[in-house]
Amino acid sequence: MSQKCPVVLRFAALFPSDLARYVLHEERRGRGSEHCVVERKHLNRLNLIGNADWKERLDLEIAAARDENFAEELAALKRLKRKKEWLARGKEGPKDPWNATEAGPLREVILTVNKDWFETPSDPSKLFDTAEKERRESEFTARACKWLASRFGDMVVTARADADESALHLHAIIVPWVEKTSGRRGTQRLIQPTSHPLIKSYEAAQDDVGAFFAPLGLRRGEARAKARREAKGAAEAARKQVRDAGGSEAAAQAAWDEAMAAAPQWVQHKPTHIWREEEQDRLDRKDRELKTQETTLAAREVAVQAGEKKLTADKTELDSQRKAIRAREDEVGAAEAILEVMATGAVDPAMMDQPDALDRLAAGAPEHHRRVTASTDGALGLRQRLARAFRSIGTRATDAAQKEIADRLDAAVRLADAARAFRDSLMAAIPPVLRDRLARQTGDAGRLLDEAEAAAGRHPPLGGRPEPGSGG
């Protein structure tokens, strides 16, 4: 990598009672191990320092120190002949071999580097070659064990390397035993973390580990404590300068705040088990968010598919409507053309579906023929329906006219029959002399009546009928 990565060192205070949780995580059991990659569990390396029964040994050692310290203190008080204190201390019983503090006496050490340092090859062409990654992990593990052994010696009761999480990291448990002798308490064997300089000074530990891992191309992490000291010194100088110039206390404090704003903030490290729980909670929340997003995306996909189906159906319906509109427009256009042709009298509308009539229209009025025939099937159907309608109307009109003529003709014939009967009865009632004269005078009218009846197909002409009064 072009820039050096910082080696990460953390100390976490533990009580012996916290070690059960440490072992559960070491064995990948219980809460806090869900984010570990099961397929990489076999790459974890346990007991790089110490034995598999390290916790049992430590429990026994703490119990023995508790009893030994109690016995030493009682013996010292007895030698001093402090019977009252001896009796009071005897009633209290053994105590834990460490000073009562809020933080535990043990220290969990975590050593790691950003995963990019392990995974990014020096040669970009070997991006998928894991050999360099494995070599770096091996070198880092060996270097970390060497640093632990050289700095803490027998204080390290266990160390392991975890490779099934986001980046390789080492865990170790440090138990800093010390012996202190006094006249009142005798020789006391205690766990005292501040007895070790690297535990006492976190800044010194960071300096030391940064220098120790430099051969691997790593560097110390950000020197926050030093930067804050320097920023605090600059802030004090700025505040003093404002005060010396006669400025108000508010102005002096503002100068302090401005100078300290550039200082790095304190990083509050959490106990490992708390960090694991919070990390697991974060991962659980992330998992729930992802599942919620998946559900939402699935619902959106269903909605999109339903929308696509609806759009397809709407498009089909719209196409059908457009097709129907175009067909209707064609029918309207054809109807307009037919009406225009009818207005010119160029063709009988009742014959517009007949080839002969259309041929005559083409010969006499080519443009009208083009407009009438240049149409779709729908318009053609309209032309045929109109022709049938006109023929039906014509047939009904003819039938009605013929019926009306027949009715009128029948009425006329009945009137003629009545007139003839009246004439015949009148001729029979008058004297013969007058009858002949009257016959001569009405002969022309009678002959016209006979001719009308003959034309109607009802009666023969007058010459073929017997004369009135002839006895016929």
Question: What is the chain's mean pLDDT, rounded?
Answer: 81
Query: Tens digit of pLDDT for each residue in 165-217?
Result: 878 899 999 999 999 999 999 999 999 999 999 999 988 999 999 999 999 98
12 has which bridge partners?
Answer: 108
Which amino acid, one-letter code, is at 392? S
Confidence check: pLDDT of 274 > 90: no
* Structure tokens that stand for 212 in this block: 């120790």
Alpha carbons within 13 A on the beta-carbon side of 437: 5
Query: Tens digit of pLDDT for each residue in 35-51?
Result: 777 788 888 889 999 99
Question: How does DSSP assign 228-247, residue by residue?
Answer: HHHHHHHHHHHHHHHHHTT-
Confidence check: pLDDT of 261 > 50: yes
Which amino acid, one-letter code, is at 35? H
Query: Tens digit of pLDDT for each residue in 289-345?
Result: 888 888 888 889 898 998 889 898 988 888 888 888 877 777 777 677 777 777 777
Q: What is the pTM of this model?
A: 0.53
Query: Tens digit of pLDDT for each residue in 124-169?
Result: 766 666 788 888 899 999 999 999 999 999 999 999 999 888 788 9
Judging by beta carbons within 10 Å of its beta carbon (0-12, 13-18, 19+), is residue 316 exposed, middle or buried?
exposed
SS3 30: coil
SS3 250: helix
In the prediction, which pLDDT does 5 show? 87
